[in-house]
Structure 1
Amino acid sequence: MTTPIGGWNRAGLTDRSEELAVNYPYALVDRGAQRGRRMIQGQLDKVGKGRAFHKLVVNGNPTPLYADEDGRYARAYSFGSGSNSVEIRSPDGKPVKRVQFYEADRSKPQPMIRIIAAWDDSQAEVDLHVITPDGQHAFFGQPALSNGGGLDADTVDGPGPENFVMTSPMHGLYQVWINYWGNFGADGYHFDENTRQRPVITSRITLVFNENTPRERRESFVVPLRGIGELTLVKTFRY
């Protein structure tokens, strides 16, 4: 695993935190161009076959780790300040590599709400949708909200993670949705059900509150996605 230099959360990103319409963290929307913005990257000695895949675990949040034929992988992730960890686990759950680093820049707010979506089919294009108490809708077409929330990456070339983050959440009711939008292959987007790798795609959605504080709390949900176009309400919660 490539060791972070100066904190992964600053590598290749543009800080627009001074703009009133976009509060930190800046909403990175890759649209499939993650090759120029890789944040967690490395190479596996042994690549899993069939359904036996390694896992990428970031701050305790697991994601299926898909690699190319040579074992290379790259995943985008937005890190907050404080202690952070990145771990690679083998298909049987054994630790392979772990990197712990401390982001000491406390001048930027810590995420108080983080919502993470990941799934287990590398060809599936799955999207996270979040409705905030003021009625704003964060999704791939509107990643940055005027209330400070936003998506940091629209992942189209792998199983996530996609992150929604708010550093100063407003009080009220939030809705979390997951949508199996379609598939993404060598020829781009398509809607052919026969090309996906699993008959039922499993999506894991994790809610993290007060991250990297003594009051941190998390909830995880596993949602099956059976057909293209399926939109599922995962959770409503009050903050």
Structure 2
Amino acid sequence: MKRARCLAAALLLAVAVTGALAQDRPLSRPAGGWTASGLVDDPQRVEYAYPANLIDRGGQRGRTLIEGRLSQVRKAGTRTPTLVVNGNAMPLYTGDDGRYARPYAFGAGSNGIELRDGDGRVLQRVQFYEANRLKTQARVRAILAWDDPQAELDLHVITPDGGHAFFANPVLPNGGGLDVDSVDGAGPEMFSMTAPLPGPYHVYVNYWGNFGAGGYHFDEATRQQPVITARITLVFDENTGAERRETFTVPMRKIGDLTLVRSFVR
């Protein structure tokens, strides 16, 4: 089944804190570049190993984890913190101990990560430049996130040659695919294409089911939001002078909902 958890390459670099914080860093990584040392926090073992393409589904080893711990765990009735990556805002849910790990696929150029509390205040900000010349740039990117950690939403993208990228078919022969397929609540899921084909593209979001302590299921009553809000961001020519983005908010009311978010032509 598509929901297998995968380890990711980790990133090591000290980060600057903006504002007074408690003893735990809200955002502990990433900040610098891909490392071959995996999850071992040993700076002596860091070997930079940059993948040449954004799409790398070999156990999703190309995913970068954004990790940290919020000292003040969100209480019921308070607003959810927000993680903003390269301008893409996503709800941030944590475990009971305040820890979180969100996957993201960074491209070349300037990358920014910002953590905001439930009132919108910036807790921490990281900016780094990915200078690897071998890494190809995403010319088309679609990012999905949603506001219910008990729900599982899926991104579907239809390409001009009839390719259909989704969880069961993540990599397309045309070079596009899902380079992040979040499997444990609230996203993100991300489609990237470095050499887009000319023609029409269609972006859909599907409310697949729910997730709980017993795994994936289809019990409507277990979700936390009566109406789940999906946020889909389309980014064209990312990290270039021609970058353009569009953001859409889509309500998902019941399991099985499938919504066409946007059709566009390249």
Q: TM-score, normalised by structure 2?
A: 0.81
Amino acid at match of 1:106: R
Contact 2:203–2:262, Cα closer than 8 Å, also in 1? yes
The match for 1:105 is 132
Q: Which has the higher contact order (CA 8 A, sep 6+)?
A: 1
Is residue 55 of structure 2 the alignment partner of residue 25 of structure 1?
yes
Instruction: Map 1:164-179 to 2 at 5 A.
Output: 164-179=191-206
Amino acid at match of 1:182: G
Residue by residue over 1:109-136, the C-alpha shift from the partner in whole angstroms, topping out at 9 and shown as x without a partner, is 1100110000000010100000000000
| Correspondent of 1:200 among 221, 227, 230 | 227
Is residue 245 of structure 2 the alignment partner of residue 218 of structure 1?
yes
Partner SS state of residue 168, structure 2: coil
The CA deviation at 1:191 is 0.4
Report the Cα distance in structure 1 between the residues aligned to 2:176 and 2:149, rounded to whole angstroms.
Answer: 27
Structure 1 vs Structure 2 CA RMSD? 2.2
The match for 2:147 is 120
Q: Larger radius of gyration, structure 1 or 2?
A: 2
The CA deviation at 1:39 is 1.1
The match for 2:190 is 163
The match for 1:4 is 30
Instruction: Map 1:132-143 to 2 at 5 A.
Output: 132-143=159-170
User: Which contiguous aligned blocks of 4+ residues in structure 1 show a shift greater than 4 angstroms?
Assistant: 8-17
The match for 1:20 is none
Gap change, CA 1:193 and 1:3, over 3 Å in 2: closer
Residue by residue over 1:26-59, the C-alpha shift from the partner in whole angstroms, topping out at 9 and shown as x without a partner, is 13666xxx9xx66100001112223511000000
Q: Identify unmatched segments of 5+ residues in structure 1.
A: 18-22
The CA deviation at 1:155 is 1.4
The CA deviation at 1:4 is 3.1
Taking only the aligned residue pairs, the percentage that are identical comes to 60
Gap change, CA 1:217 and 1:122, over 3 Å in 2: same
Report the Cα distance in structure 2 between the residues aligned to 1:136 and 1:173, rounded to whole angstroms.
Answer: 11
The CA deviation at 1:16 is 7.1
Gap change, CA 1:175 and 1:9, over 3 Å in 2: farther
The CA deviation at 1:203 is 0.1
Instruction: Map 1:137-152 to 2 at 5 A.
Output: 137-152=164-179
The CA deviation at 1:153 is 2.2
